[in-house]
Structure 1
């Protein structure tokens, strides 16, 4: 019988099979401009995780569990905006380490699905440590080709598809549209508000439900390919080359 994905929090302990895969969405609670909700990254991470878990469980006929999301991340660059709730690098790193150690007592592989760029350093550091301790753990990003940096057209489209009632489209404004390399020094030194008073890095104009659905499909395809064909690189991130074949870590 085919066993689909299940939410870990819905189960009682006898419902858990021997050494199932556990996938953990990793998001944030931070400003996403005047028009998107604070939980945007968590919503996206959870949607990608659920879709990938479903695909993996159908392919393997095994139990795949989706754990409750980590909804607080490393978001210090957004701290000057009301609503942002950041736990920072060290707390997030420690949380991931202790969570995976606990899960590993009864599960098989643990896969972290991250949708916030500010979490990368902490998640990578945690996964490197855990892999050195011989835990079966890796992480993957929620990514698409191109797109803007933060609260722009891509994320606005995704949220119009995933959670339309939370999008205040009438408030949407264009922010700083320069590439990350051009704004990174000032962003690191003074935070997002220094380069964009609205908190937007990009332009939400043209966002649509259809574009959001397609972006989600591309994120899920990329994540599924990484999970089924990828190899963990030096940062513990599952990586494949552009053709979908395994990219051997340097």
Structure 2
């Protein structure tokens, strides 16, 4: 079994005596608008996709056992204010939720936990970094240079909210959730969300809650990017162990 919540209580208790070291992956994201073409749950979908692929790749490893925790799909997403579908929670709410989840697990001896996140709003990232430090857990912080340098040009440009990068990943994992007819007709929107001073999508010029070039997204690009993301996550798992 790959999913932690599918185990029985007795099976979880047995992890302590397993020859394989248990590593728990916690997918994190946000429920927010991703243009007129992609699903609100794009970010947690990508996080979950990374976790599932990493778990599959390491399924035969004799030294560790990867388990995927139920995802936390809600995050800090004030940038999406004014668009239908955004569900933002406060920093302290997110911090309390994640630290208490991690604390409940570490108290049971399950100390190797990795936060896997694909929502990059600065306030959200700041919370995850604080959780990683105070709860003493791992965090795959994809915007750090060591990771970002391995991802696509659009990702590094900061024009990657519901653009080619994210839409390609959704097409690779759940193409049924992308409105392809709308996607193919969307013009490029050049807004760098990584630059300072951006406070919300609308005022930054993202009138349809996306930036980048979603019309160029393909499932093939998504599979290649997922492969890189899986490499990154597998390396982080091994570092944690």
TM superposition score category, shorter chain reference? 0.7 to 0.9
Aligned to 1:164: 175
**How far has the Cα of 1:104 moved from its partner?**
0.7
1:193 to 2:202 alignment: yes
**Mapping for residues 1-250 of structure 1, pairs under 5 Å:** 6-16=2-12, 17-18=15-16, 20-106=22-108, 107-118=110-121, 119-131=124-136, 137-142=137-142, 144-147=151-154, 148-172=159-183, 173-182=186-195, 184-185=196-197, 187-188=198-199, 191-195=200-204, 196-229=206-239
Q: Secondary structure at the match of 1:94?
A: helix
**How far has the Cα of 1:79 moved from its partner?**
2.1
Structure 1: give runs of 5+ residues left out of the alignment: 132-136, 232-250
Task: Give the Cα separation in 1 of the matches to 2:7 and 2:236.
Answer: 27
Q: Taking structure 1 as reference, are residues 8 and 104 closer, same or farther at Cα in structure 2, changes over 3 Å only?
A: same
- Aligned length, in residue pairs: 218
**How far has the Cα of 1:226 moved from its partner?**
2.9
**How far has the Cα of 1:178 moved from its partner?**
3.5
1:5-63: CA deviation from partner (whole Å, max 9, x where unpaired)? 61011111111211722111011111101100000001100010121223344334433
Task: Give the Cα separation in 2 of the matches to 1:145 and 1:152.
Answer: 11
Q: Secondary structure at the match of 1:111?
A: strand
CA RMSD of aligned residues (A): 2.0
Q: Secondary structure at the match of 2:215?
A: coil
Q: Secondary structure at the match of 1:6?
A: coil
Is contact 1:175-1:199 (8 Å) kept? no
Task: Give the Cα separation in 1 of the matches to 2:73 and 2:39.
Answer: 13
1:179-216: CA deviation from partner (whole Å, max 9, x where unpaired)? 3355x31x22xx11112111112111221111111111
Structure 2: give runs of 5+ residues left out of the alignment: 143-147
Aligned to 2:145: none
Q: Taking structure 1 as reference, are residues 32 and 121 closer, same or farther at Cα in structure 2, changes over 3 Å only?
A: same
Task: Give the Cα separation in 2 of the matches to 1:164 and 1:57.
Answer: 26
TM-score, with structure 1 as normaliser: 0.81
TM-score, with structure 2 as normaliser: 0.83
Task: Give the Cα separation in 1 of the matches to 2:194 and 2:29.
Answer: 23
